[in-house]
Amino acid sequence: MSDYHEIFEKMPDGVLLHEPGGGAIVETNEQFCSMLGYSREELLELDFDAIHLDEPPYTAERAEELVRQAAREEPLHFEWVTKTKSGAPLPVEVHLRETTIDGDVRVLAVVRDITERQRRQQELTLQNHRLEKFASIVSHDLRNPLSVAQGRLELAREECDSEHLDAVSRAHERMESLIRDLLVLAREGSEAMTVDSVELSTHAKLSWANVQSGDAALVVDDDQRSIRADPGRLEQLFENLFRNSVEHGGDVSVTVGLVEDGFYVEDDGPGIPQHIVQEVFEAGYSSVEDGTGIGLSIVMEIVTAHGWEIRVTESERGGARFEVTGVEFVS
């Protein structure tokens, strides 16, 4: 067995060699045979043209043009649709280049089945469309009662002077901001973020002020470290983690601190049972009767948009601990 043939067989992707100009297939590996449903003997009797669709833009002529381009310029990387033995289309990712093996000019193609990737992309596109529609409906339905509440607040100011009214006004402003951010996040995702240097402890304290915390208490690490993050999204993340602690633990003590490559939020509440740890970030999941099941899914969206990671574990006091890692600290 030649060295290149041994390499072929060990590769997880489909590999084939064919003659230039859409010529005969001269070698392939078992992975490529399996992808297309042929035996090796059957494939080696075919020309390169025989395994491509004849529908634009996946014609044999276009394939030959790409082969010539790979010979003249640099190796090519593109998505394509080939066809199986049954004639079914198969979406693939192709790495193409011209090379010389044993003195003969050959075209080398490394081929990866991307059926599952395209399915996920289609599902994501559909999901994003539904999310945008949902966000638009929710923001409209929220703005109507919010406008009523703001109007009533102005009437209340005319009748009395209370420090509680200022707190109500701040809550209204925060609701306006969240509605706006919900729409932007749904429509633009991570591209809508404005990443800046953000002092972690300061924003944790600001977020706590927006949570109905009762007799719960917040303890923040005194280390004045800053991270690269979108300030508004970071506050949303903290608020939802804080609410999760208060809703499930009541008058808990919540702590925010640093880990080597990120930060954590933990409490001394009842904790999260191990058997539901993998479910808590799913939209709609809640272990409390009046929970929306949205809070922690929003946390996951924010973490993902920043390129971070999050894991759930148990705090030293037996409560829940959320660790966010992969965070960039500012020197």
User: Residue 148 to residues 94, 105, 145, 247, 308: CA-CA distances in angstroms?
Assistant: 58, 76, 5, 27, 39
In this structure, the strands spanning 217-220 and 253-259 are parallel
The answer to pTM > 0.75 is: no
User: For residue 248, is pLDDT > 70?
Assistant: yes
Question: pLDDT by residue (tens digit) across 137-185?
Answer: 777 777 788 888 889 999 999 888 888 898 898 888 878 877 776 676 5
pLDDT the model gives residue 189 = 55
pLDDT at 289 over 70: no
pLDDT the model gives residue 203: 92
Give me the residues paired with residue 257 across strands.
Answer: 264
Q: Which helix (H) or strand (E) holds 220?
A: strand 217-220
What distance in Å separates the CA atoms of residue 317 and residue 187, rounded to the nearest whole number? 40
Structural domains in the chain plus CATH codes: 1-112 (3.30.450.20), 193-330 (3.30.565.10)
The C-alpha torsion from 289 through 291 and 296 to 299, rounded to 10°, is: -170
Distances (CA, A) of 140 to 39, 135, 147, 149: 59, 8, 11, 15
What integer pLDDT is reported at residue 173 of this predicted model?
83
Q: What is the mean pLDDT of the chain?
A: 83
Q: Is 79 helix (H, G, I), strand (E, B) or coil?
A: strand
Ramachandran sector of residue 250 (left: φ over 0; alpha: ψ -120 to 50; beta: rest):
left
> What percentage of the chain has pLDDT greater than the value 90?
32
Mean pLDDT lowest for which of 4-18, 141-155, 277-291, 310-324? 277-291
State how far the Cα of 233 lies from the Cα of 217, in Å rounded to an integer.
22
CA torsion through residues 55, 57, 58, 62, sign:
positive
- CB 324 within 8 Å of CB 307: no
Quick one: pLDDT band at residue 256, thresholds 50, 70, 90?
A: very high
Alpha-carbon distance of 122 to 329, in angstroms, equals 35
| 197 SS3 class | strand
Q: Tell me the β-bridge partners of 149.
A: none
3-class secondary-structure state, position 239? helix
Per DSSP, helices labelled H in the chain are: 3-10, 30-36, 40-43, 60-72, 115-159, 163-188, 200-208, 231-249, 295-306
Kindly report the length of the chain.
Answer: 331
Q: How many C-beta neighbours within 10 Å does residue 73 have?
A: 10
* Cα 97 → chain centroid: 32
